[in-house]
Structure 1
């Protein structure tokens, strides 16, 4: 396993140790970076207007379109480190 992959997996564990949950925008950023790192570019149709949560997730993920998995992992790790202080 690569060092970056190990750090990414550790960051996923570390985020669960926060004393309080991040705000919704930060949660969306974490979600979208995780999805980009693990699944690549967003695919499928954009959810409808009334599906607020899934539409927000789709849009957040779509912002990272074209970003490499390694870069998304690095961004995720950096954001987790920032949140942990």
Structure 2
């Protein structure tokens, strides 16, 4: 199968070449901007995940510390209660 192109105007070939180069450059710019965007989204997602993990772990440690101290206080009060009777 052969595709033929006929240019009616004499300067049509230069106009087509100009538009082809412009569209190619727009495509190239789009490619690199998408690559940059995905890289930045990856960094933001990684940092957000790290911040979330730190916040959850900090809350978990605080809860565990409070529970342990309450259990120790209950145990101490039970020992005092049983030793008095």
TM over 0.5: no
Q: Report the TM-score, using the length of structure 1 for normalisation.
A: 0.20
Greater RCO (CA < 8 Å, at least 6 residues apart): 1
Question: Which one has a bigger Cα radius of gyration?
Answer: 2
Higher helix fraction (1 or 2): 2
